[in-house]
Structure formats: structure tokens, C-alpha cells
Amino acid sequence: MTVTTIDCEYVGLPRVAAAFLLTEGDRAAFVETNTNDAVPRLLGALSVKGQSPEQVDWIIVTHVHLDHAGGASALMKACPNATLLCHPKAHKHLIDPSKLVASSEEVYGKERFAELYGTIEGVDPDRVRIMADEETLEWGERTLTFLHTRGHANHHFCIHDSASKGIFTGDSFGIVYPDLQAQGLFAFPTSTPTDFDAAAARQSVARIVGTGAKRAFLTHFGEVRDLEGVAAQLTPQLDVFGSIVDEAYSSELDGDALDAFCDGRVRAHFDGMLQMHGLEGDDVRELLELDTALNAQGLAFAVRKRRFKAGQSKQA
């Protein structure tokens, strides 16, 4: 009844994105798939455990952002007996990923998207199972409990595992890169497009801690045991991100000016956090560059989304 962390080496960097292999007797399951490029790594970890792809019962994705589910169709092809478990709102995107691909191409650009994710295919709907909030799955001697956790994405869930007394948190419990922990715990939220909601994210953080889990398995990255410490860092930062959205929403900024405002505020926030934690150097900046840019884009998107909804309300 083990949990193995698999380094997917996402965007060519070590210790940035993980998938997890669960073993239960002679059966296996994966949580997260990362991208198509990571699938050989997942199957290699399975082989190290002396198991074959035919012994995989479940492939679970916390949400359909492609650093979590981009390799789902390829891994399902490799594991012929597996069922894919997902959030109800993720179901349609796994079966027909065309809209997901289109929106991701808008974020990354078509050329960069192709480099990162390759071709994303749909999964046979007969092999996809929706998991409701608080639904449980008995698997061998362990119980997996699925908890819907909004804030980062509206189609996100976490999975509590009775055997490890742990919880697989996807992006709902922030990011804790091992390479940034030299000066003590350093955690930060992720507000990537398109569903960031600060209030919902705070509630999800509290819900994760409230499970009583002894460890959290973060997709970014690995096992963390100080859940209270992570929550204590994430909550005020989510307040900061929420305030940036509120301030931008109340301004007249739009277009490139709105993007620049959010980008500047997010970079200033990270600069302050790095200084507070005694972290410096080009390697640190490089490691955080993608997260900084995507977080800023997510906040700008949240502003535009709120304005669109407000405009609809006025027309109603």
C-alpha cells in the first residue's frame, strides 16, 4: 500500500511536477498523468514495482489542466484495464479536448503548446467515470474519498487516501518546490487561467486541512507533512491575489494595461516573498518565471470574467 512520487520533469525541469503511483496488493493506480512526454516515466515507475500496465485499475486526474491531465489519453491507451476518474465538469474535456486545447493554445501560443503537450486525444467515454463530491471508492484495503475543491479551477477535486493518511491536492494546496525550501517552508498559490476565485480557494485550503490528513501529496511538488504551515502561508497570499483582482476590477484598465498591472503586482508580490524567505539568484527567478507569468494572466482573466458577468447582469 505504497505511494511513489514520480518526477515528470515538466518543461525539462526536475522537481517541478509530479505524478503518483499507488499500489494495492497486485493492483495499481496513478494520480495525475502530466503530459504525453511523462507517460514513459509513469510506466517505468510501474515496472520498477514489478507490475504491468494491465494491472492498473485507476487513472485519476485532479483537473484537466494539461500539466495534470495532458497525458491521460496516452496513459489510458497503455493501460487497457484502467478507468479514468475525474470531476463532473472535467468529464467532457477528457472525452473531447478540443476546447481545452484551443484555450491552452491562447495561453501558450500554438508553437509552444505543441512543444509542451503534443497531440491531445479524447478518451473513450465508456472508460471515464465521474466522482461526486465526498464520493468514496473502496479499493483493496484503502478508501479513496473525492472532495471537490474550487478556487484554482471549477473542475478540480482532491483525493483523500485512507491507507497513507494523505491527500492528493493537485493545485488546490499551492506549490511547494523542493528547490526553494533551503531557508524553511516556502509555499505559494497558483492562480493560472481561467477560474481563479480567491474566496473559493481559501475555503478549499481550509477543507484540505480539515480532513485531518497527515501528509499532502502536491503535484508541484511531492510530499509535504506540515499542512498547517502550508495553509498559514497560502491564506494571506490568496488575500493578496484577491485584492489585486478587486483593485484591477475597480480601475479603468483594460487590454495590455490590465495585463501589465496584474503582471507588475504579481512580480512585486513574489519579489517580496523571496526577500522575506532569503531566496535569491538567477536560478530562483528562472524557476518561478512560468508561475509568475501564468498567475498574472489568471488574475487578469478573473477581472475580465467578473466584468463580463457584471455586464450580463446589467442587461438582464
**pLDDT interval class at 150 (50, 70, 90):** very high
Q: Do 109 and 69 have their domain in common?
A: yes
- Per-residue pLDDT tens digits for 151-165: 999 999 999 999 999
Report the domain count for the chain: 2
Per-residue pLDDT at 2 = 84
**pLDDT interval class at 307 (50, 70, 90):** very high
DSSP element (H, E) containing 85? strand 83-86
**pLDDT interval class at 116 (50, 70, 90):** confident
Q: Do 118 and 246 have their domain in common?
A: no
Q: Do 186 and 245 have their domain in common?
A: no
**pLDDT interval class at 314 (50, 70, 90):** low
Q: Do 205 and 269 have their domain in common?
A: no
Q: How many percent of the chain have pLDDT more than 90?
A: 87
Q: Domain boundary at 194, 215, 230, which?
A: 230
Per-residue pLDDT at 115 = 87
Q: Do 226 and 304 have their domain in common?
A: no
The lowest-confidence range among 99-108, 128-137, 241-250 is 99-108
Q: Domain boundary at 178, 209, 230, which?
A: 230
- CB proximity list for 103: less than 8 A, separation 6 or greater: 193, 194
Q: Do 95 and 28 have their domain in common?
A: yes
Q: Which domain holds residue 262?
A: 236-315
Q: Do 56 and 203 have their domain in common?
A: yes
CATH label of the domain that carries residue 164: 3.60.15.10
Q: For residues 90-105, give the mean pLDDT.
A: 92
Q: Do 181 and 306 have their domain in common?
A: no
Q: Do 259 and 180 have their domain in common?
A: no
- CB proximity list for 104: less than 8 A, separation 6 or greater: 66, 113, 117
Of 133, 211, 219, 229, which Cα lies nearest the Cα of 166? 211
Model's pTM, two decimal places?
0.95
- Per-residue pLDDT tens digits for 45-87: 999 999 999 999 999 999 999 999 999 999 999 999 999 999 9
Q: Do 214 and 244 have their domain in common?
A: no
Per-residue pLDDT at 48 = 97
Q: Domain boundary at 176, 209, 230, which?
A: 230
Peptide bond into 221 cis (omega under 30): yes
Q: Do 250 and 207 have their domain in common?
A: no
Rounded CA separation 104/203 (Å): 27
Q: Do 216 and 305 have their domain in common?
A: no
